[in-house]
């Protein structure tokens, strides 16, 4: 079970899926910085536009934006806070569940949040605009924060390094701030996509298998494959029974297609000591 004592200022382990996600985001941040200096402004803007999230462009077929926007870098300060949050929260969740589960939660929150926010932007409610450009990893991180609130709600943090507060209350504060921003700010889409990322993360925790979607899919696949093989075995057993009956011999199989030893089958017509069925 997760600990309920307050977290300290000690840095968590920098390993596993958390480290890989952070390194990917860092690499893209520096690549973006270099690209902005070596290509013309118009080309740079074109590249960023088609990798960020624009609901209208997604509706016209640029569905890769549902994922790529989450890896587009923010400002230096924004990227720094996002990576630090991902480091602290991601390491806790990865230790609590698994690396694959963390990957799935991060991607589900990013893609699910983009889908929900993009769909709502076409309603134009609360000043939403389907041509708004959005990018950054915060929607995915909001999904991770929601997971911490749901799975480790009583875990205590030092908010602003001063106030001790439980994780579930801290996440509620973040969500209330975004709701206020959504209702009052001109930048409503940014708040909406973060709230949508939190919702997508919650739905993943609520309905996905405990070991993740990939594990559940694998289990289902192997279950279907085993059902197919059992059906083939039953058909082969029936054919073999028919063949042996034409040879004047009786053999028996159970409902799963497994051979029944006549010496252990009291209902066998051959009798316990009849060995004529054997070659």
pLDDT tens for each residue of the chain, 279 residues long = 444 444 445 678 888 999 999 999 999 999 999 998 898 888 888 888 999 999 999 999 999 999 999 999 999 999 999 999 999 999 999 998 889 999 999 999 999 999 999 999 999 888 888 899 999 999 999 999 999 999 988 887 766 567 788 888 889 988 998 888 888 877 789 999 999 999 999 999 988 877 666 655 555 655 666 777 677 777 777 777 777 777 777 777 777 677 676 666 555 544 444 554 444
Answer whether 146's CB lies under 8 Å from 238's CB: no
What pLDDT is stored for residue 223 in this prediction? 62
Paired with 53 in beta bridges are 134
**Using CA atoms, how far apart are residues 53 and 58, in angstroms rounded to an integer?**
8
**Using CA atoms, how far apart are residues 139 and 111, in angstroms rounded to an integer?**
9
What pLDDT is stored for residue 40 in this prediction? 86
What pLDDT is stored for residue 250 in this prediction? 77
**Using CA atoms, how far apart are residues 191 and 149, in angstroms rounded to an integer?**
19
What pLDDT is stored for residue 1 in this prediction? 43
- Of residues 59, 217, 215, 229, the one with CA closest to residue 131: 59
Domains annotated for the chain, with CATH where assigned, are 16-208 (1.20.1540.10), 222-279 (no CATH)
Extended beta strands in 80-192, E state: 156-159, 163-166
CA dihedral 61, 65, 66, 72 (to 10 degrees): 180
CA dihedral 181, 186, 191, 193 (to 10 degrees): 160
């Amino acid at each position: 079970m997760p600990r309920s004592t307050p977290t300290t200022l000690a840095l968590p382990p920098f390993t596993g899926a958390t480290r890989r996600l952070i390194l990917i985001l860092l690499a893209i941040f520096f690549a973006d910085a270099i690209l902005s200096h070596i290509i013309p402004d118009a080309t740079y803007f074109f590249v960023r536009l088609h990798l960020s999230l624009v609901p209208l462009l997604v509706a016209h077929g640029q569905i890769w934006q549902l994922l790529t926007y989450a890896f587009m870098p923010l400002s230096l300060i924004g990227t720094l806070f996002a990576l630090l949050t991902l480091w602290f929260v991601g390491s806790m969740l990865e230790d609590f569940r698994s690396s694959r589960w963390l990957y799935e939660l991060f991607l589900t929150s990013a893609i699910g949040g983009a889908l929900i926010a993009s769909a709502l932007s076409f309603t134009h409610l609360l000043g939403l605009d389907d041509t708004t450009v959005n990018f950054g990893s915060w929607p995915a991180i909001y999904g991770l924060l929601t997971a911490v609130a749901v799975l480790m709600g009583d875990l205590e943090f030092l908010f602003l390094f001063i106030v001790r507060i439980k994780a579930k209350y801290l996440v509620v504060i973040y969500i209330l701030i975004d709701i206020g921003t959504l209702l009052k700010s001109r930048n409503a889409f940014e708040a909406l996509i973060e709230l949508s990322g939190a919702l997508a993360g919650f739905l993943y925790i609520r309905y996905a298998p405990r070991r993740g979607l990939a594990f559940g899919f694998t289990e289902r696949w192997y279950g279907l494959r085993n059902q197919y093989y059992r059906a083939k075995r039953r058909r082969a057993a029936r054919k073999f029974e028919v063949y042996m009956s034409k040879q004047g011999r009786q053999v028996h199989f159970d409902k799963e297609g497994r051979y029944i030893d006549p010496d252990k089958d009291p209902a066998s017509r051959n009798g316990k000591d009849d060995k004529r069925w054997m070659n």
